[in-house]
Amino acid sequence: MKPQIKRTLSNFFFEYETPRQVLVRNKRVAVVCRIIQMGVLAYIIGWVFMYERGYQAIDIAIGSIFTKMKGVSFTNISGKERIWDAADLVFPEQGDSSFVVMTNYIATVGQKQDKCPELPDGKNKNKCMTDENCDEGKYKRTGNGHMTGRCISNTSTCEIYSWCPVEDDRQIPDPPILLTAENYTLFIKNSITFRQFNVVRSNLVESVNQSYINTCLYHPKTDPLCPIFRLGDIVERSGFNFSEIARVGGAIGVLIDWDCNLDLSIRHCKPKYEFYGLYGTAKNDKEEKPSLGYNFRYAKYYVENGVDKRTLMKVFGVRIDIIVHGRAGKFDIIPTLTAIGSGVGIFGVATVVCDLLLLYFVSKRDFYKNMKFKHTEIPEEKPALPQSQTEKDLPKVTYHSNLFSRRSL
Amino acid sequence: MKPQIKRTLSNFFFEYETPRQVLVRNKRVAVVCRIIQMGVLAYIIGWVFMYERGYQAIDIAIGSIFTKMKGVSFTNISGKERIWDAADLVFPEQGDSSFVVMTNYIATVGQKQDKCPELPDGKNKNKCMTDENCDEGKYKRTGNGHMTGRCISNTSTCEIYSWCPVEDDRQIPDPPILLTAENYTLFIKNSITFRQFNVVRSNLVESVNQSYINTCLYHPKTDPLCPIFRLGDIVERSGFNFSEIARVGGAIGVLIDWDCNLDLSIRHCKPKYEFYGLYGTAKNDKEEKPSLGYNFRYAKYYVENGVDKRTLMKVFGVRIDIIVHGRAGKFDIIPTLTAIGSGVGIFGVATVVCDLLLLYFVSKRDFYKNMKFKHTEIPEEKPALPQSQTEKDLPKVTYHSNLFSRRSL
Amino acid sequence: MKPQIKRTLSNFFFEYETPRQVLVRNKRVAVVCRIIQMGVLAYIIGWVFMYERGYQAIDIAIGSIFTKMKGVSFTNISGKERIWDAADLVFPEQGDSSFVVMTNYIATVGQKQDKCPELPDGKNKNKCMTDENCDEGKYKRTGNGHMTGRCISNTSTCEIYSWCPVEDDRQIPDPPILLTAENYTLFIKNSITFRQFNVVRSNLVESVNQSYINTCLYHPKTDPLCPIFRLGDIVERSGFNFSEIARVGGAIGVLIDWDCNLDLSIRHCKPKYEFYGLYGTAKNDKEEKPSLGYNFRYAKYYVENGVDKRTLMKVFGVRIDIIVHGRAGKFDIIPTLTAIGSGVGIFGVATVVCDLLLLYFVSKRDFYKNMKFKHTEIPEEKPALPQSQTEKDLPKVTYHSNLFSRRSL
């Protein structure tokens, strides 16, 4: 048994198999075949390797954002002058990646818990004729409080128990109160981490030093790396009109896009800023018109003469969502080999196509078939297999008909 | 040299190689082999291409969310009536994707900086017998302030310097104060962007128009696209009981799932809403029981008679985390070719399996081995290698020149 | 026609083709070839399958985070004692994944809308000599309000209409007011969902029960799963010095990393916590020095004797961004077959390399070429093609020994 194993091993190590091939000398097929093969090769090298960088492992960034708004607005509402700075206007205050800059508001000062008539709205949803229209203790989806069961004739609306007086938001101030917010500046600090490659990077890249930050303002052409943005610019680059958005509010996405090739120097890994309108309502296929309108309410509470009161603010403003999208590639052996392996597979497809051409679409196809294929059939009647095999490569298969019939001659 | 190059080039372009094959006529092996091959083909076409859409490039969505809670609650605490609306109950106020709806609270009114005894807790952690148990200036992890060094005999706890009186949260109000929050409605606006395909889409899809939004309420069967949700429904669909979660708080994930095939019309790209409980404590394998309990504290500051005071609120509530998970596929040549290449590779595996069968598990295996393999060994003793070779493959091709010219002898 | 189809079908099902191969008995080439093939095999099995678990489908986690800060600080500012607890120090209050712990502040109490001189800064940016330097109604980027047009001789700065007095933040309190924040503890609750595998998991894994949470404190070696962190530890593990960061603020990323193999028991799916500094400024290649400095302003409003006032706080603090990075793998047939297919493709590369060796770098290359390739050229003049072919496959190789020795008979 032992020499057997030895021979098998030596055969395995000292012998290797390579497929036998036919060299087909047929201009048309060969040219077509070479073109296909070169196309596949060009695709693999040019597209997969060069353009898509298929030899790189990919990592997606983990990002952190800190924002700071700066600016001062001056308003003069019926003779009352007031100055607004960022601490008065930005929600939330701590510099999150998603925040709202107030540009307009409806303030309802001195609300207290009381009974008062519901607000009449244009669509008659809150209208009542008699007390029966006002179910005591019930709450309407469009209403502001619990109905007491009385219908107030003055306003033709139900009386409610609520924070009174009820906020009247039927008229949005026009022009917006804080139109000058257009000139506010937004400073964005962004840190990204590619964990797989152990790379941490900030949007304050090499060329953005302290003195540059002090004076620069983002511009896509002239200052594409400056991290300071004018609010009006952001709004207009995202397709909105500032005076419109300032009146009724709106939401804007700021995308910080990192596409880094870490095979090059890290200095080439730079952010790109993009702006677009959010919350579109679908109008037609593939096109979403960004919709206007963004508001929220908040209340400031206080006690006046022992009564709990609040000032309700309906805030209209520009909501900014900053989103980081980072992607880095770096040479890695696994994607390289996977790309090559898959490329060799596609090469196999090219061969299959060529063979189909050769065997089915060429006039001399029978000749080529004969060259490429060898038929084997165990001649069942002959017990002396080895002998028959001696001649094995001789095609004696007489009963085999059409395609290979000439052989049997 | 030049004709040499020319010949090489012409050989390269006008000649192509295709592997020589043996056609094995063995029913058992052939049937097994064809079944394997057809299985591979079915897998590649059916599964990889049809089901998994392997011919598509994939992009992950970037999403933005805006929420708005609506509702009114009425409470009557020891005769004091009070109405609560969304501005009183939702934290933070500006409509973030993650927010809390207050359903229960413990208010500690009028805290001021002072000395007072620590709260006795059931587990005797804050208990003291003598002043020695209270290290002056130290702070206990379970405590609320800095110990002054005195042990108060009344409560058997250390005296602390703190916001006094200390909040007593040993009893959570039951039933929860704002149980009616169940009927609040949540409006979710969601915008997603597939950057690679330049597609922006909102959850207010074509069929969700203004008049529909005014009246609809989400239901998984009847109104799966309505972006307005009842808080009680969200809680129950995520597996909680509303009165339980309202008392001690809890966290719920709302998943907006987009799975879009952009080879079809964008109209078919619609969101799906899912709800599940968060922050489970592991009980048994693969099953996490969502755990109840969510609270946080916040303080409202004011000045009373020249003394800084605060009202400390311990808020229990439903925390909702809205998460967007978007994925779109679109036909692209690279994944298509990669899938094909990889499929051809798997075809190769099928051939290897068939060959193993043929060469090792069939009774006439020696015969087939002989057919498939040709042995070559350089007959070291024979110097006239070419001659022996001349006859081997019997190259009759006389007109063929250089490389194989010896054959023509 | 029918028997034709039948024959084609029976041929297809009962006959299968396998490539003919040459067994090359050349020690050097064979050994090199086997080594390459075994390398490829080892790579596929060892690296792709074992190490990278290429047989698994991958899912990325969707995560939710809830945080709770605990701690008490005691300050004594010019004789005024004050106690601070988490409700006073953490922004925002509701336990978000991104929050700020105040460690230092500059309070400007009692600001009201008024005229006052601008703050003189060291760099003379706000300096003025005469009224002409102060454009009425204009606003400087470095300024705090609208200029009235007057230059105040006392401070040599323009008079502005603003919240007065203007905040003076030229001196940051040193040592930081709330240095004791170092001992605060942070509790993190994290829930992740692998949608594809329908797995929900929390960072309170099996070994983290209630009694353990009550006493434990995170330590990378001894308590790597304890979800309670000391703020000072977080700061130091991320490479900062606590007293420095407490003074001017700074941002820290806390990464919760899940790398789960769901083919094993879910119990092995555990989080890992990592800490790193954010917002670096690039100093040299691939190395980012985390930069200090994090602050924001917020205002508390009140009414005093009928005048609207505010207390402006410039808050310096530790900002913590908690980020979840989850990845789970589970056996799946598609990635398995893709990996195998791609591996077979790479095997093909090995064969190509061996063939290149054999056909171009071996002394007896012509012999091997002859063995491997069969030339075909349609002998246009000879009509009796089959005959010439009949003998072609006749194995004349007499010197070849064992397997084929019978041929030589």
* Digit-coded pLDDT (tens) for A117-151: 888 876 666 778 888 888 887 777 777 888 888 88
pLDDT of res. B376 = 65
**Bigger pLDDT: C142 or B241?**
B241
Long-range contacts of residues A50-55, Cβ cutoff 8 Å, at least 24 apart = A52/B334, A53/A261, A53/A329, A54/A335, A54/A336, A54/A339, A55/A331, A55/A332, A55/A335, A55/A336, A55/A339
Instruction: Give this complex's ipTM.
Output: 0.78
Of all helices (H) and strands (E), which one includes residue A186?
A: strand A185-194
Cβ neighbour number for residue C301 with a 10 Å cutoff: 13
Measured CA angle at A403 (ends A402, A409), to 5 deg: 75
- Residues 6 or more apart from C263 whose CB is under 8 A from it? C56, C329, C330, C331
Given C146, C280, C374, which is nearest A200 (Cβ)?
Answer: C280
Record: contact B354-C18, CB cut-off 8 A: yes
Banded pLDDT at B291 (limits 50, 70, 90): low
Given A64, A338, A374, which is nearest C251 (Cβ)?
Answer: A64
pLDDT of res. B228 = 93
Q: What is the DSSP letter of A241?
A: -
Separation CA A319–CA B35 (nearest Å): 60
Contact by Cβ (8 Å): C278, C328:
no
Record: contact A204-C20, CB cut-off 8 A: no
pLDDT of res. C408 = 31
Given B81, B344, B367, which is nearest A349 (Cβ)?
Answer: B344
Contact by Cβ (8 Å): B154, A214:
no
Contacts of A100 in chain B (CB under 8 A): 94
Contact by Cβ (8 Å): A218, A271:
no
pLDDT of res. C400 = 34
The amino acid sitting at C359 is L
pLDDT digits (tens, 9 = 90+) for C51-110: 888 889 999 888 889 999 988 888 888 888 888 888 889 988 888 899 999 999 999 998
Q: What is the DSSP letter of A339?
A: H
- Which two three-digit tokens encode residue B20? 């020589």
Contact by Cβ (8 Å): C280, C292:
no
Separation CA A136–CA A146 (nearest Å): 7
Separation CA C13–CA C256 (nearest Å): 56
Q: What is the DSSP letter of B133?
A: G
Instruction: Please list the pLDDT of chain A residue by residue as tens digits (409 residues).
Output: 577 888 888 877 777 778 888 887 888 888 888 888 888 888 888 887 888 888 899 998 888 899 999 888 888 888 888 888 888 899 898 888 999 999 999 999 989 998 988 888 766 667 788 888 888 877 777 778 888 888 888 888 888 888 989 998 888 898 899 998 998 999 999 988 888 898 888 888 888 887 888 889 999 999 999 999 999 999 999 888 898 889 989 889 999 999 999 999 888 999 999 998 886 543 433 344 455 688 999 888 888 888 888 999 999 999 999 999 999 999 988 788 877 777 777 777 777 888 888 888 888 878 877 777 777 655 444 444 444 344 334 333 333 333 333 333 3
Asked whether residue B296 is marked as a ligand-binding residue, the answer is yes
Nearest CA in chain B to A324: B62
Closest residue by Cα to residue C156 from C179, C135, C178, C126: C126
As a whole number, mean pLDDT of residues B55-63 equals: 88
Burial of B274 (0-12, 13-18, 19+ CB in 10 A): middle
Separation CA C176–CA C165 (nearest Å): 23
Asked whether residue C7 is marked as a ligand-binding residue, the answer is no
Separation CA B189–CA B203 (nearest Å): 6
pLDDT of res. A19 = 81
Asked whether residue C69 is marked as a ligand-binding residue, the answer is yes
Separation CA A399–CA A223 (nearest Å): 83
CATH of domain C62-109+177-330: 2.60.490.10
Residues of chain C with pLDDT under 70: 1, 122-125, 279-292, 376-409
Give the phi and the psi of residue C214 in degrees, each rounded to 5.
Answer: -60, -25
What stretch(es) of chain C map to CATH 2.60.490.10? 62-109+177-330
**Subunits close to A (at least 3 CB pairs below 8 A):** B, C
Q: What is the mean pLDDT of chain B?
A: 81
Record: contact C395-B392, CB cut-off 8 A: yes
Residue B386 scores a pLDDT above 70: no
pLDDT of res. C287 = 44
Given C91, C280, C386, which is nearest A94 (Cβ)?
Answer: C91
Length of chain B: 409
Contact by Cβ (8 Å): A313, A249:
no
Record: contact A298-B193, CB cut-off 8 A: no
Residue with tokens 């072919």: C389
Separation CA C60–CA B326 (nearest Å): 12
pLDDT of res. A261 = 93
Given A12, A15, A64, which is nearest C253 (Cβ)?
Answer: A64
**Confidence (pTM):** 0.81
Q: Among A10, A12, A18, A407, pick the best mutation site for testing chain C contact (most C Cβ within 10 A).
A: A18
Asked whether residue B69 is marked as a ligand-binding residue, the answer is yes
As a whole number, mean pLDDT of residues B10-27 equals: 80
Separation CA B61–CA B199 (nearest Å): 10
pLDDT of res. B406 = 34
Contacts of C285 in chain A (CB under 8 A): 265-267
Burial of A103 (0-12, 13-18, 19+ CB in 10 A): buried
Q: Among A258, A275, A281, pick the best mutation site for testing chain B contact (most B Cβ within 10 A).
A: A281
Record: contact B19-C22, CB cut-off 8 A: no
Contact by Cβ (8 Å): C335, C56:
yes
pLDDT of res. B392 = 41
pLDDT of res. B409 = 30
Long-range contacts of residues C5-12, Cβ cutoff 8 Å, at least 24 apart = C7/A401, C7/A402, C12/B34
Give one word for A137, left, alpha or beta, with left for phi > 0 and alpha for psi -120 to 50. left
Contact by Cβ (8 Å): A375, A392:
no
